[in-house]
Amino acid sequence: MTVLEKSTIIGKESLLLLLSILGFLLYSLSLCVIYFEEKSITRENFFLIFVDCLAFFYYSAYLIVMALFFNENYNKTSGTFSLIISLLVFFVLEISGFNSVDYLLQHLVHMAVASLVLGNLLALWCYVRSLSLPLNEINPKTIGKDTIYCYLMGREVRPRLFGYLDLKMYVNRVCVVSAVLLDCAFLYREFVRNWTLQSYVVNKSFIIIEIMHIIFCLDGVVTEYTFEYSLETQKEGFGYICSVGYFIYPFLITTVPYHFLLTKTELATWKIPIIVFLFIVGFLLYRIANNQKYNFKVNVLKPGVKFIPTEIKNGKLLCSGLWGFVRHPNYLGDIMMYISFTGLTITAPAIMPLMEIPFLIHRSIRDNKLCKEKYGYAWEKYTEKVKYIFIPRIY
């Protein structure tokens, strides 16, 4: 075993990180318990629920065989194909009398807890496995750091199960496909189960929020292939934060639309055009910016694209299109969409999407620091040309 760190078990940076994670988990679970309908859980049905959770995540990413097949080539159709198969399996079970939608919605908290267990087990396995890796396969950001920091952030960037299955890409697929399945379950409950009621009135606010939300999640599935070129995939480690975050994400991100469904909340008329505008503009910024970045990555020499060369091999700084106005147009689009998901309401579930805003701001600050260290003078030239981070002439 290669010993890389000569440090304490936990340092100040790791302690703050650990406390923030614990606070986030406590808030998340309490939010789920308050706003999700539940059936009682006993010792007899706990194992069954856990197995069902495994099955849910299993077919959410389609079959393991297909995941292995697409492992080395996440092309432009594999994520969509997995989603189609998952939806077919899910709703064939429903119409066959297995009541898969009801079961899922009645055990959301139980599955969220089971997903935390799965995420922790996977993170622990990755950490233990990484202890025997050579230095050149270790995440450089964890070298010299304490044990807790390494466990949280991940000592390996792209761990592979059995040496083949890319866990980061696979668990990302689990995350986004599961979120779409939950959204579809909500819509199914709203339309199919209630349309026969004579007194039933369509919840227009829920429908609008849900449509925006499902477009956002579907985009993550359809454009899965672009995730391969993201900073998170190529540079960030796969540890506790990444593993647990992916598994719990589908349950947390859907708390707002499910809250609208349960409480039958109707938004004030003046709020509807505002949130729709925020979402449309945010989505266009997010998707166009990411497409421009992806196309630049795969074809740096494309005519008409402006960039600043660096001394790093294959390292060029894009300053064309939306990236010529601000440094993170995709983050700005993300923030606008997350604000729209709140419905401009002041409720406990609305806090969840708003928590993404400080995260993205902090990430932009961290990206700036990392790029300055990596590119040096080239980054200074880039920041002179692209001065603003999110909004031109403001920030």
Distance CA 374, CA 310 (A): 10
For residue 307, the SS3 value is: strand
Give the pair of three-digit tokens for residue 284. 């266009």
Query: How much is the pLDDT for 5?
Result: 43
Q: How many helices (H) and strands (E) does the chain have?
A: 17, 4
> 211: which residues sit within 8 A by CB, 6+ positions away?
none
3-state SS, 48-78, equals HHHHHHHHHHHHHCCCHHHHHHCCCCCCCCH
Distance CA 204, CA 285 (A): 26
| Residue 87 Cα distances to 210, 312, 370, angstroms | 17, 44, 40
Distance CA 385, CA 158 (A): 34
165: region left, alpha or beta (phi > 0 left; psi from -120 to 50 alpha): beta
Summarised one tens digit per residue, pLDDT across range 246-265 is 888 888 888 888 888 888 88
In our burial notation (b when 16+ CB lie closer than 10 A, e otherwise), range 208-241 reads bbbebbbebbbbbbebbbbbbebeebeebbbbbb
* Nearest CA-CA partner of 290 in 227, 218, 203, 216: 227
The dihedral formed by the CA atoms of 337, 340, 345 and 347, expressed in degrees to the nearest 10: -30
Query: How much is the pLDDT for 279?
Result: 96
Query: How much is the pLDDT for 61?
Result: 45
Query: How much is the pLDDT for 67?
Result: 46
* Nearest CA-CA partner of 283 in 336, 235, 233: 336
Distance CA 176, CA 269 (A): 31
Residues of the chain with pLDDT under 50: 1-7, 35, 37-39, 58-68, 70-72
Look up tokens 């340092």; give the residue: 11
Give the pair of three-digit tokens for residue 155. 């000592």
Dihedral angle sign, alpha carbons of residues 197, 344, 322, 294: negative
| Maximum alpha-carbon separation in the chain | 70
Which DSSP state fits 160?
Answer: E
For residue 302, the SS3 value is: coil
Query: How much is the pLDDT for 281?
Result: 96
At 326, phi and psi to the nearest 5?
-140, 160
